[in-house]
Amino acid sequence: MKKSTLLVLIADLITLSLLIGCSNNQELTPKRNNQTPVNNTEQTSNNKVSDLNLSDFFPLELGYTWEYEGEGNEYASFNRKVVFSNNNLYQIREDNGGTVTASVFEVSSSDITRVFFIGEAYGEENYLNNEPNEEVTILKAPLEVGLKWQEENGTLEIGSINETVSTPAGNFSDCIKVMNSSENSIVNEYYKEGIGMVKREFISGETKVTSSLKKFSK
């Protein structure tokens, strides 16, 4: 198997989704003294989030950048940036040091879906108008525990809406946990309101690979 193909395979196995929202040139940097960011999430119960849209947990705006610190695999560390946007379509550039990928996401009130993906995209090409080549739902409404949906690479389920997650960027409370279960692995992704994905865990047998938020820039 060619090295470039292997890198793409690793990246796509350990990858599922993304991201963030607001603007005014702020930065999220590592917090000291175990500080926890202020939480504004409203809940009707311990099982359902109310008064918040999917885009609150997967915000995307042109120029938003995320940096993740990895453990367990040399390609688990990566950075992402929103490089193009048009209406409800957003293009993300992701670089893990071995390959650069491009993903296009379509955002609606009912779901957030990756509609285009290319495993090697080293230039600055805009893919927003390309013909969709996939349909992978990353996040789905309503945001409540137990919601499930089937994708080609496994069954996704909202496992929790009040997870506390520790990362190099700080501790985040009331995160949504999305579990992707397949025959040989499970991927847990944690999303925080106003920030997006703060942590991903890939578990297969005794192998565990994590990517944790290190820095977020608006």
Average pLDDT of span 130-159: 95
Instruction: Return the structure tokens found at 213.
Output: 């938020």
pLDDT score, position 24: 34
Say which range, 27-31, 148-152, 179-183, 207-211, has the weakest mean pLDDT. Answer: 27-31
Q: How large is the average pLDDT for residues 189-212?
A: 97
Residue 5: predicted pLDDT: 40
E-strand spans in 60-206? Answer: 65-71, 78-86, 89-95, 100-107, 111-118, 136-140, 148-151, 154-167, 170-181, 186-192, 196-204
What is the pLDDT, as a whole number, of residue 45?
56
- Residue 35's pLDDT band (cuts 50, 70, 90): very low
Q: How confident is the model at residue 148, as a pLDDT?
A: 97
Cis amide leading into 142 (omega within 30)? yes
Q: What is the predicted pLDDT for the residue at 37?
A: 37
Nearest to 94 by CA among 68, 129, 128, 57: 68
Q: Is the pLDDT of residue 131 over 70?
A: yes
Average pLDDT of the chain, as a whole number: 84
Output the pLDDT for position 49.
Answer: 80
Residue 204 has pLDDT above 80, yes or no: yes
* The token pair that represents 50 in the structure block: 């109310």
Listed range (4-18, 44-58, 157-171, 183-197) with the worst mean pLDDT:
4-18
pLDDT for the residue 14: 47
160 to 7, 132, 147: CA distances (angstroms): 31, 31, 10
Q: Percentage of the chain surpassing pLDDT 70?
A: 79
Confidence of residue 63 (pLDDT cuts 50, 70, 90): very high
Q: What amino acid is encoded at 36 in this protein? A: T
Q: Which of 104, 98, 105, 94 is nearest to 66 (CA)?
A: 94
Domains and CATH numbers, the chain: 3-26+39-217 (2.40.360)
> In 3-state terms, what secondary structure has residue 115?
strand
* 106 bridge partner residues: 89, 113
Q: Degrees (nearest 5) of the Cα angle 132, 1, 69? A: 70
Asked whether residue 1 carries a pLDDT value surpassing 50, the answer given is no
- Give the separation between CA 146 and CA 156, rounded to whole angstroms: 10
How far apart CA 94 and CA 22 sit, in angstroms, is 20
pLDDT of residue 79: 98
- Report pTM: 0.81
Please report where in the chains the tokens 């999430």 appear, as a residue.
Answer: 41
Radius of gyration of the chain measured on its C-alpha atoms:
16
**Residue 116 backbone dihedrals phi, psi, to 5 degrees:** -150, 140
Closest by CA to 162, choosing from 128, 122, 190, 183, is 190
Residue 150 has pLDDT above 90, yes or no: yes
Residue 63 dihedral angles phi and psi, to the nearest 5°: 95, -15
